[in-house]
Amino acid sequence: MESMELILTIVVSTLIIGCMFFYFTRSIRRLVHKESELNQTFSARKEHFEKCSEELAKTSTDLFKAAEHVKLLELRLKKSNDQCRDILETMEDEYFETDLAGNHTYVNQAICRSSGYTFEEYVHLSYKDLASSPESADRIYKIFNRIYKTGIPATIVDHEVRRKDGSLKALEMSTSLILDEFGEPVGFRGIARDVTEKKRIEAALRQSEERYRNILESMYDGYYEIDLAGRFTFVNSAMTRILGFDKNELMGKHYKSYMDGYQANKVFKVFNGVFNTGAPDKGIGHEIIRKDGEKRYVEAAVTLLTDERKDRIGFRGVLRDITERPPALAS
């Protein structure tokens, strides 16, 4: 009986130990499997981390290079802007920038010199403050408005502005639109040239030419100018009276058309001599044929006509009718 109990105890113990061993080994296998999964996950995570680290390092390097490139571009831009400003500040022509309302935001030293304003004073002025009159301001407004709407630059001539001392100066301007980085208009820029002295000289020249023309028109003797081909380019009223042609008929007409062949050859020799030597001929007597067919005897002085470069461009001279002189004097 005791042996049976012993055997049963042994059997139960064995079963218990077997079950415990089974669950233990299964737990061990699970732990091993879990460890394998963890190792795989760790390896995958490690590989992912290393890849991310490499990408991050590469991105960081690229960002550093990009930052260096941006810094280099900024330095180049600053250098370019400085060079541009240096050019603007040393140029003789006037340069300005305004906002869309026409208030000045930048001007170069040429404007300051010619206007009498300092830079700080000028950038507080608008085009209206400087215009010589309300009509002039309205004209500039319309031109700027057209530039704003079309984007097409404009050239402005005969624009007068007031200097600080109240005197007027005349300008010729070329103006265009300023666009931002998005292509939107933000203001205007322009280059202006002070033509006050030029206008003064032109006015003086016109007055001088007018006096010159008045003197020529009041002369009793004929005055003429011809080109190198021998065609009239200018005559005074006395010249038309002597020849019997009106001015429109004489302009472009050849001098040979109012004389015969012998007289024409005689006059040509005088013109040719003046052309070759540059020395004026003080008087050549020859016969002409008026428009009405009447023959008259004249005396002509000839001088070489040159341009501002001293190039020969024609002849000028005075023609005097000496038909009524005594024969001895005329001959």
Query: Per residue in 249-265, pLDDT tens?
Result: 999 999 999 999 999 99
Q: How confident is the model at residue 168 (pLDDT cuts 50, 70, 90)?
A: very high
- Between strands 154-162 and 104-107, the pairing is unpaired
Q: How confident is the model at residue 218 (pLDDT cuts 50, 70, 90)?
A: confident
Domain with CATH 3.30.450.20 in the chain: 91-200, 219-330
**Residue 11: per-residue pLDDT:** 67
Is 329's pLDDT higher than 60? no
Cite the beta strand spans of the chain per DSSP E. 94-99, 104-107, 154-162, 168-179, 185-194, 222-227, 232-235, 281-289, 295-306, 312-321
181-199 average pLDDT score:
91
The 10s digit of each residue's pLDDT in 99-132 is 999 999 999 999 999 899 999 999 999 999 999 9
Output 326 or 297, whichever has higher pLDDT.
Answer: 297
Q: Which fold is adopted by the domain 91-200?
A: Beta-Lactamase (3.30.450)
222-235 average pLDDT score:
94
Which residue carries 């024969």 as its tokens? 327
Q: Which fold is adopted by the domain 219-330?
A: Beta-Lactamase (3.30.450)
167-194 average pLDDT score:
93
DSSP 258: G
The 10s digit of each residue's pLDDT in 84-100 is 676 777 788 899 999 99
Of 60-69, 164-173, 313-322, least confident by mean pLDDT is 60-69
What predicted TM-score, i.e. pTM, was given to this entire model? 0.51
Is 73's pLDDT higher than 90? no
Return the closest-CA partner of residue 108 out of 240, 99, 118.
Answer: 118
Tokens of 49: 């981390």
CA atoms within 13 A on the CB side of 120: 0
> In whole numbers, what is the pLDDT of the chain averaged over residues?
85
**Residue 24: per-residue pLDDT:** 67
Of 32-41, 46-55, 81-90, least confident by mean pLDDT is 81-90
Which residue carries 């280099």 as its tokens? 72
Helices (H) and strands (E) in the chain, counts: 10, 10
**Residue 17: per-residue pLDDT:** 73
Is 66's pLDDT higher than 90? no
